[in-house]
A = this chain, B = another copy of it.
Amino acid sequence: MDIEEFRKRGYEAIDRICKYYKELDSVKVLPEVKPGYLKKLLPKHAPEEAEPWEDIQADFESTILPGVTHWQSPNFFAFYPANSSFPAIIADMFSDMINCVGFNWICSPACTELETIVLDWVNRLIGLDDGYLSDGEGGGVIQGTASEAVLVVMLAARQRVIDEYKKRGYTEEGIATKLIAYGSDQAHSSIEKASMIVNCKFKAIPSDDKFCLRGSSVRSVMEKDIEEGLIPFFITATIGTTSSAAIDYIDEIACTLEGTSVWLHIDAAYAGAALVCPEYQYLLKGVDRSQSFNFNMHKWLLTNFDCSCLWVRKRSHLLNALSLTPAFLRNIASDSGLVIDYRDWQIPLGRRFRSLKIWFVLRAFGANGLREHIRKSIKLAQRFEEELSKYPNYFAITTKPAFSLVCFHLKVQKNTNMASNELTTALYNSINNSRELYVTQTKLGSQNVIRFVVGSPWTTEQHVVDGVRKIVNFTEAIIEDAELTIE
């Protein structure tokens, strides 16, 4: 494909993207395919000779698109959102045009410097404290995902505690086997996965009856573990848990940790986006005593995946854990110490030019545009609850709208012998099997619940109202079936 053919095919691709978003509303959010569908449609080998672009494009239409789950659909209410936006798509096109691998400054100065600058912008926008800005000892970095973010800070925390204990005369082996990391029982699975990777112990501390982690629970678990000879070194507190968007008592936890060498990491993967609205920034109370803070712009802030923003209070902690400088990476700029080499802030060496999309998104929407998007989603979640509450015989709201998430479950229905959990799971399956709405199921305590999250910029009030209508219909069908069974 030469430059002129790329121009033609590129225009066609732009048109295809326009068509995709125009038709998004009329396409079912979940595909109809069964596992293994694609293998039957594609050949077993790559072609020997180049194929005409028309064939590739046609196969994309006929084999790939029918197997896609439409995360941008206005009827996508599952997991948490993963917003795309047109400014971010264009930024990614430019990133692909340049296709630099910016592992150190000289590999593309603009790539490194823009990242530092826009992460300072986002810091100020969401009301993080100045200790996380790049002009002090801290700074921000783009990670692929929150999982990678928590892994790198856990590594930094491990190195910090090992260095500290070594100074006190302990051996590295003696420390390594005693390290323990914590999260609440609502913390994201990535915390436990990171513990598996760094090979330390992990304990899920029970949350309270609202699924929030309290300082007192942290204290009692930690004290017991210390008595047993363990070394607590890391804890994640969450703003907006995965299951119910609960908010841990960060201020309490920070107080509990005072005087210890436990690293406090804040996981605001989803809800961090809401901090662009000043009315949510009170949630940051206590965050000024955390060592790291992470949220995913690629979730609910109109920035295409992947773009997970991580700030650390002391960048030297990351470098101590992750820096290695072999000869082939030595260069004058890096040796001078004047520049940031982000390769030492992450697991991979190579990295894409992702700051471009943050820059484009912040400028194309402006802070107010982003706030409008967040507030609209939150309002629609409240509207969802309002609609659902019109059927108090069917539905119980498990957790009130938290940001843009509502959790609900089905009440036990007389004339059926199905338990609430069974009914809820049946409804969950009915909804997703229809392919018209996509929701996720989770467990809160012993209760099966359905999570309904608003987030797509294409979702309107009508989608929410229609969604509730469908949910009511599915519910009635389930109850009817269950009644028939009992008769």
Contacts and interface: CB of A to CB of B under 8 A. Distances in A.
A13 interface: yes
A94 B3 CA distance: 19
A285 interface: no
Contact of A100 (B16, B71, B85, B326): B71
Interface residues of A, number: 145
A22 B3 contact: yes
Interface string A154-172: 0100100000000000000
Oligomeric state, in copies = 2
Contacts of A477: none
B97 A93 contact: no
A57 to B, nearest CB: 9
A424 interface: no
Nearest to A155: B197
A104 to B, nearest CB: 10
A431 to B, nearest CB: 13
A255 interface: no
A36 interface: yes
A230 interface: no
Contact of A97 (B20, B305, B364): B20
Interface stretch (A42-50, A211-219, A257-265, A384-392): A42-50
B366 A147 contact: no
Interface stretch (A231-239, A311-319, A436-444, A461-469): A436-444
A63 B111 CA distance: 11
Contacts of A30: 106
A159 to B, nearest CB: 9
A47 B363 contact: yes
Contact of A349 (B37, B145, B321, B328): B145
Given A46-B122, A349-B189, A451-B328, A109 B33 contact: yes
B348 A64 contact: no
A93 to B, nearest CB: 5
A327 B443 contact: yes
Nearest to A442: B328
A340 B109 CA distance: 39
Nearest to A339: B35
Nearest to A194: B347
Interface stretch (A330-338, A374-382, A396-404, A408-416): A330-338
A419 interface: no
A226 interface: no
Contact of A321 (B15, B146, B196, B360): B196
Shortest Cβ-Cβ A-B pairs, 7 listed:
A67-B110, A10-B14, A84-B99, A145-B348, A38-B113, A50-B366, A6-B86
